[in-house]
Copies of this chain bind each other. A is one copy, B any other.
Amino acid sequence: MLDKILNKVQTGELTIEEAKQQLAAYENLGYAKVDHQRKQRTGFPEVIYGEGKTPEQLIAIIDAIQEHDNDVLATRISREKANVIMAHHPACVYNETARILYHKRTLETSSNDNGYIAIVCAGTSDLKVAEEAALTAELFGSNVRRIYDVGVAGLHRLLDNLEEIQGANVSVVVAGMEGALASVVGGLVSHPVVAVPTSVGYGANFQGISALLAMLNACSSGISVVNIDNGFGAAYNAVMIDRLTHKSEK
């Protein structure tokens, strides 16, 4: 990258200011720098992490994004914040289970022949995280299949859905408590598994540590792990992997 920019500066293709632009293409709101060229560079739009930001800050950031005709995707948005924001940005849609607020300008209709991401979750209590993952992946243009409430306590529920899981390009496995689902799925598929520990449980689950450690120590190979409750991160990762299936097409 550096090489190319230096080359262009020497040949005059780029002025120094342009060269700097190429590396620093964000808008400075003072308390935040909004990155408008992120999608061009990485194939993903700038995503807003909603926790700890005021509705006012969120509205201003969305303003800045929309002025550049970019998609809006904000995670960890409470119902209360969503209501305030949607009063200013009525085009935004809110999904309460996934706690995601979004505005998708160009509907990338993902064709079915791309394959899909399987979002597998253990219990009803893991739903929020699973939906954060599923909706994120869909908004990023991947096909998604939801296989929910198939925890290992009732193994037949999982085996009954096995073929659908095995058919995916990549699985996102969401589980709390002892997180055994990741190991079991990992042993039954031959594609990468992104495991998401959730904070579901009580006592010695320590807000998700039990599931996190279990997943890091999974006896099956092919499993990697994201942070506790990080449905968004898992989806982001899975979409990156899913997109590789199209690579040779291009």
Contacts and interface: CB of A to CB of B under 8 A. Distances in A.
Given A154-B187, A247-B245, A2 B162 contact: yes
Contacts of A188: 155
A227 B204 contact: yes
Contacts of A201: 217
Interface stretch (A3-11, A62-70, A80-88, A99-107): A3-11
Interface in A94-121: 115
A224 B26 CA distance: 26
Nearest to A206: B213
B159 A124 contact: no
Contacts of A200: 52
A160 B2 contact: yes
A211 B178 CA distance: 9
Contacts of A150: 33
A78 interface: no
Contacts of A4: 163
A57 B149 CA distance: 14
A247 B115 contact: yes
A32 B31 CA distance: 38
A93 B210 CA distance: 34
Interface in A126-160: 127, 148-157, 159-160
A43 interface: yes
A35 B160 CA distance: 14
A215 B152 CA distance: 13
A177 B219 contact: yes
Contacts of A227: 202-205, 216-217
A215 B6 contact: no
Given A200-B52, A214-B214, A183 B127 contact: no
A89 to B, nearest CB: 19
A22 to B, nearest CB: 8
Nearest to A17: B6
Contacts of A234: 224
Q: Which 4 A-B pairs have the closest CB atoms?
A: A203-B228, A180-B180, A224-B224, A210-B213
9 contacts: A9-B10, A10-B10, A47-B221, A53-B125, A180-B183, A209-B213, A210-B213, A216-B228, A223-B237
